[in-house]
Amino acid sequence: LIVVAEKDVVYERFPIPLINRLEKHLLVMSTGLTEHQARLAKELEGWVKVFSEAKPEYSSGESLFKPGDCFVGYHSDTVAAVVMKISNLGNDWSNEQILSQSIYTLLQCASPDAIARLPATKLKHDAEKLWTEYFRNQKHGSLKDYLVHCLGNNKDTENDSSLVQFVCIKIVLPRKLSDRKGISGKGQLTDGKIDVLENYYGLANREAKL
- From first to last of its 210 residues, what are the pLDDT tens digits of the chain? 788 887 788 888 888 888 888 888 877 788 888 899 999 999 999 999 999 988 766 556 677 788 998 998 898 889 999 999 898 887 788 999 999 999 999 998 898 889 988 988 889 899 999 999 998 888 777 767 777 776 665 554 445 556 666 665 554 444 444 444 444 555 555 666 666 666 666 665 555 544
Alpha helices by DSSP H, listed for 54-122, are: 67-70, 78-89, 95-107, 112-116
Burial string for 185-208 (b: 16+ CB within 10 Å, else e) reads eeebbeeebbebbeebbeebeeee
pTM above 0.75, yes or no: no
* Spatial separation of the C-alpha atoms in residues 168 and 73, rounded to whole Å: 13
> Count of CB atoms within 10 A of residue 83's CB?
29
